[in-house]
Amino acid sequence: MAAFSTTDTIVAVATPPGRGGLGLVRLSGLAAEPIVRRLTRRRTPFVPRHATFARLADVTTVDATDDVTPPARIVDHVVVTWFAAPHSFTGEDVVEIGAHGSPVLLQRVVELAMAAGARLAEPGEFTLRAHLNGRLDLVQAEAIADLVDAVTPLQARAAMDQLEGTLTEAIGRVDAALFDLIARLEASLDFPEEGFHFVTRADAAAEVEAVRATLAMLVTEGRAGRVVREGRLVVVTGAPNAGKSSLFNALVGASRAIVTDVPGTTRDVLSERVDVGGVPITLVDTAGVREARDVVEAEGVRRAIEAQTVAAVIVEVVDGSAPLPAVGAGGGDAAKDRATSPAPRIIVVSKVDRPRAWPNATLGDAADRIVETSVVSGAGIDALRRRILSALTSRDEWRDTPAVTNLRHVAQLETALAAVERAAQELDAGATEELVLAGLSDARAALEAITGVRAPDDLLRHIFSRFCIGK
C-alpha cells in the first residue's frame, strides 16, 4: 500500500476465490457510478440503494454512446446497487455488481472496470477508506478482518461486538475520565500557590484508582481473549497404546487417527483444528514416548517431544487399566519432558470403563489434575474440554464475549495501565500536578492509539495490508 490516496476509484472482487452461484465486484470512489453506468450502457444514473438488473457489456472497443455502432457483446447479467456518498461503507460512492460466481467472469468485470478508469484495490483499501473517512475507528476496522477470519461462533461474536463498538465505548469511558481529570489538574497549574486547586489530592487519587481498576480488568480479559482470537496448540502425549489416538478422535469428533491394539501405531504427528468452548485449538496427536524400536519410530518420538516444547497445554494420557510405566506417568522420557516444558499438563486416565489397575493417588501431586475418560462410553470427554479451556483461559466457559482479543490492543492497554500506575505512585508520593499529568497524558495517548486517533501511517499500512483484497 504505497499511499493513502482517496481521489481515485478502486475496484476488486469482494467474494472469496472459487466458483459459486453469485459473486460480488465492488467499486468505491467518485467515478464508481459513472463507470458502471458505462459498462451497462445506461444513460440515466442508477437509483441509490435500489438493486437494478442490467446487462454488463464489453465496451472496451465500442462507443457506448453511439447508437449506430453494433451492440457490445454482453458479458453477464448482473444486479447493480449504488450506495451514494456519504451513506456507504467507505463514505464514498460505492457500487456493488452482483454477477454469476465464475472466477473468469468476475475477473473480466474487474478488467472492464479498470479499462473504464478504475484501478485495482490494495488489500484492505475499502476498509481503510472507511476508517479515513470517519465511518469506522481502528478497532472496528480490525474487527471486520477478525469477523471474516472467524472459525468459531465465539470468535464471530467477539468480532461483531467490537464492530458494534463495545470496546470503543469502554475505552471512550476511560478516556473521558482521564480527560476530565487532566483538565482539572491543568487548570490547577494556573494557581500554583493553591496546589490542586480544582481537585483535591484525595479525589484525584480516587479517580486514578478507578481508572486503574478498569484498565487492569481490560488487560486481564484481553490476555484471555487473545486465546479466543488466536487459538492455541494442545498436544496429546503419553506411552504407546495408552489411548492417545482414541482420545484425539473423540475430541475431534471423527476417526482421523489410526487406532489399533499394536503399540507404536502412530509414527508421526497428526493435527486437527477443534472448537473447544469457542477457542480454536490445534490438537496434535503424537507418537508414544518410549525407547524407539526403529529409525521411523525414533523420528516420531523426537517430533512428539519437540511438539511438547511449543504446546500451550499438554494432555498426558495414562492407561488406567494397565500397570503404570516404570519412569514417570507417561513412560520413557516423559519425566524429563515434564521438567523442560513450561506448559500446564493435564493428566488423562483413559479406559476407565475397564477394571482399574491402580488408584489415582499413585500419581501423587498430579492426582488433582486427573481427568478420567472412556472413549467407549464418552465419560469425561466434556470434562476434559472444560479443563483444557480452563488451562488456556483460566475459565471453564465463556459466559460473556471477551471485550478485548487483539494483541495490539492488549499491548496498548498495558502501556496505559503502567502510565496510570505511575501517576498513582506520584500522587501517593506527594508529587506536583506536572508529574501526575505526565503519566495520565501517556495513558490517553496509548488509548488513542487503539482507536486510531493517533495512529501513524506506517501502523495503518501494517494493519490493512493483512486484509484480503476486496475488503
68 and 19 within one domain: yes
**Interval 388-422: pLDDT, tens:** 999 988 876 777 788 899 999 999 999 999 999 99
| Rounded average pLDDT over 175-180 | 94
Cβ(349)–Cβ(366) under 8 Å?
A: no
Q: What is the pLDDT of residue 331?
A: 42
On the question of pLDDT at 190 being above 70, the answer is no
462 located within any domain: no
Sign of the four-CA dihedral 395, 277, 147, 314: positive
50 and 106 within one domain: yes
Cβ(177)–Cβ(207) under 8 Å?
A: yes
CATH number at 40 reads 3.30.1360.120
**Interval 430-450: pLDDT, tens:** 888 888 899 999 999 999 999
CATH number at 321 reads 3.40.50.300
459 located within any domain: no
Number of C-beta neighbours around residue 68 at 10 A: 5
464 located within any domain: no
On the question of pLDDT at 290 being above 80, the answer is no
| Rounded average pLDDT over 4-24 | 88
444 located within any domain: yes
On the question of pLDDT at 240 being above 60, the answer is yes
336 and 195 within one domain: no
251 located within any domain: yes
246 and 173 within one domain: no
425 and 347 within one domain: no
Whole-number Å distance between alpha carbons of 440 and 348 = 49
On the question of pLDDT at 459 being above 90, the answer is no
On the question of pLDDT at 100 being above 70, the answer is yes
147 located within any domain: no
Lowest mean pLDDT among 142-156, 229-243, 284-298, 323-337: 323-337
19 located within any domain: yes
217 and 108 within one domain: no
Cβ(49)–Cβ(83) under 8 Å?
A: yes
Q: What is the pLDDT of residue 176?
A: 95
Whole-number Å distance between alpha carbons of 55 and 41 = 8
1 located within any domain: no
| pTM for the structure as a whole | 0.79
Lowest mean pLDDT among 176-190, 255-269, 433-447: 255-269
CATH number at 428 reads 1.20.120.430
196 and 75 within one domain: no
- Of 351, 372, 393, the domain-final residue: 393
Return the bridge partners of 9, or none. none
| Rounded average pLDDT over 189-209 | 76
CB-hemisphere CA count at 13 Å for 131?
A: 28
Residue 369 per-residue DSSP state? G
370 and 242 within one domain: yes
Whole-number Å distance between alpha carbons of 164 and 127 = 15
383 and 240 within one domain: yes
Helices 433-451 and 407-428, axial angle in degrees (round to 10): 170
| Rounded average pLDDT over 207-229 | 93
Q: What is the pLDDT of residue 256?
A: 54
Whole-number Å distance between alpha carbons of 4 and 272 = 40
Helices 138-149 and 125-132, axial angle in degrees (round to 10): 150
235 and 222 within one domain: no
Structural domain of 367? 231-393
Whole-number Å distance between alpha carbons of 16 and 118 = 21
Segment 411-415 long-range contacts (CB within 8 Å, at least 24 positions apart): 412/446, 412/447, 412/449, 412/450, 413/215, 413/218, 413/219, 413/222, 413/446, 413/447, 413/450, 414/219, 415/442, 415/443, 415/446
Cell for 405? 482479543
Order the strands of the 10-13 sheet from edge to edge: 51-57, 74-83, 94-101, 20-28, 10-13, 119-120
237 and 219 within one domain: no
Domain count, the chain: 3
Cell for 90? 467507505
**401 or 34, which is more confident:** 34
| Rounded average pLDDT over 318-336 | 61
337 and 248 within one domain: yes
On the question of pLDDT at 59 being above 70, the answer is yes
Lowest mean pLDDT among 13-22, 63-72, 255-264, 423-432: 255-264
| Rounded average pLDDT over 40-44 | 92
**Interval 296-321: pLDDT, tens:** 445 555 566 666 777 889 998 988 88
Q: What is the pLDDT of residue 366?
A: 73
Closest CA to 374 of 323, 319, 418, 414: 319
**269 or 57, which is more confident:** 57
Report the largest interatomic distance among the alpha carbons of the chain, rounded to a whole angstrom: 94
